Chains A and B, each alone.
Chain A
Amino acid sequence: MSLIETHGMTVRYEAVPVLSNVDFAIEKGEIVTVVGPNGSGKSTLIKALLGVLKPTAGTVRQADGLRIGYVPQKLHIDPTLPMTVMRFLSLPHRHTEAERIEMLARVGVTGVGARQMADLSGGQFQRVLLARALLAKPDILILDEPTQGLDQPGIAGFYRLIEDVRAETGVAVLLVSHDLHVVMSASDRVICLNGHICCEGAPNVVSAAPEYRALFGLGTGGTLALYQHAHDHGHDHDHDHVHHHPPALDEAQ
């Protein structure tokens, strides 16, 4: 089976549906990117896939014994909690000192082991988060906006690292991101999310899809491509998404 899959998954907060009827699957070794505007349910999707949120309807299933390496969008470490980088890398599973030092080198932050997590720069912090996730020898890496607060070279470097790791280990990667241009070229598949799956497919297919352009106004039409959408979705949660969306891109094109 797939590493993680959902069928008809709906998640509501209070009574408001944040995600509706999501069918999602990620396979071994795949790089899948989820894009979508703020409030589109990206973080909710990740929480549901991790099992932190229970879906209101539908199912989520992880493969048996699935090992997940998770890199959170933001990790706030309370200033009252002392935490060296080396100590952090052994959470929740303990790893030998040699393994941890080697992994720090692998992600390009040799020598920060004795520092406090709070004293790291944004880029170093993200790489340490990645190192911790990789130490679990995951089947899948789940990265939630992993490059927030990084500058352009930092972002490019980070994604290069992810691609290298995938090439070396064959780990699947599920990425939630805003960095559309950078991310999409590296992805096998892109999912465009806005409360439901608007469209999905290979990066070039998705970037040409009207649903995608309606959300991001990118591509050949530039800003004019905004709202060229055949039928306006009304992408908010004030009404139910009862109308039919073209599920396949062939239809949409």
Chain B
Amino acid sequence: MLDDFLIRAALAGIGLSLATGPLGAFVVWRRMAYFGDATAHAAILGVALAVASGLPVFLGTVLVAMGVALAVSGLSWRGQAMDTVLGVLAHGALAFGLVAISLVPGARVDLQALLFGDILTVGRADLAVIWGGSLAVGLLLVWRWQALLTATLNDELAASAGIDPARERLGLTLALALVVAVAIKVVGALLIAALLIIPAAAARRFTTTPEAMALAAIGCGALSSIGGLQASLRFDTPAGPSIIAAAVVIYLISVAYRR
């Protein structure tokens, strides 16, 4: 069954949704959309550095995404003008990443795949990485769920119960970096944040508890993957953007939906 590229692609999308659903919910609740963008764009720089230094691409991507995410979250609680700083970082990481890639001698980096993903060429090894990374993130979120939710509501509320809000924030940051490294193959650096935010936003309308919203976001992400792949096949459109387009359609339906 795994011999069919379309089935591998669908499994990649579904596996990734297991992580992007609940993580995306936190990104939405904590207003970290720009933060997600900055981390995702940093992955391009990571790829460039990995290629230049001969490190495995996955490792380079994780490390650089993590570095940028930590730097940004260090800024975030010093209360600077966040959207400006994040805007600089997000686009700066993108620009420097693209420049760095062009400078790597003899690099055969497929820029198109880096920016928009290459889900149709996902192999068995890629599948293992995607499912492994997604399950790791999913388990981390399940393990810390109560503490993360409390810290998302209010730092003092968390601290009064012995939860360190800074530590929970760090956990989310690391999870985000891991998801970015895993997702770049599927939807590409430019659209990772979209895969985090849009399914969660669509799920909001249908749900009354945080858990329901996270689960619905997983469902919406998986549905977008399958729908986007179908559309990509039928209309011969690029797979990554088609998946995000499908998610947007689901979001629009959710907006029109009245309870």
Contacts and interface: CB of A to CB of B under 8 A. Distances in A.
A136 B210 contact: no
Most B CB contacts (10 A, CB to CB) among A76, A78, A94 go to A78
B147 to A, nearest CB: 6
B233 to A, nearest CB: 33
Interface residues of A, number: 28
A83 interface: yes
Interface stretch (A20-28, A44-52, A182-190, A197-205): A44-52
B207 A82 contact: yes
Contact of A50 (B150, B152, B156, B200): B156
A197 to B, nearest CB: 21
B77 to A, nearest CB: 11
Nearest to B161: A92
Contact of B146 (A47, A72, A91): A91
A70 B29 contact: no
B158 A92 contact: yes
A250 B114 CA distance: 75
Interface string B26-49: 001111000000000000000000
B210 A92 contact: no
A92 B209 contact: no
Interface string A132-146: 000010000010100
A220 interface: no
A72 B163 CA distance: 16
B154 interface: yes
A161 to B, nearest CB: 20
A75 interface: yes
Interface string A29-58: 000000000000000001100111000000
B29 to A, nearest CB: 5
Contacts of A46: 156
B159 A83 contact: no
B83 interface: no
A80 B149 contact: no
Given A52-B159, A87-B209, A80 B29 contact: yes
A144 B154 CA distance: 13
B160 A68 contact: yes
B157 interface: yes
Contacts of A68: 160-161
The 5 closest A-B pairs by CB, nearest first: A70-B160, A92-B150, A68-B160, A52-B159, A81-B29
10 contacts: A50-B156, A68-B160, A75-B153, A81-B153, A81-B213, A82-B208, A82-B212, A83-B210, A87-B209, A91-B157
Given A72-B157, A82-B209, 9 more contacts: A52-B155, A52-B165, A68-B160, A75-B153, A78-B30, A82-B208, A87-B210, A91-B146, A94-B146
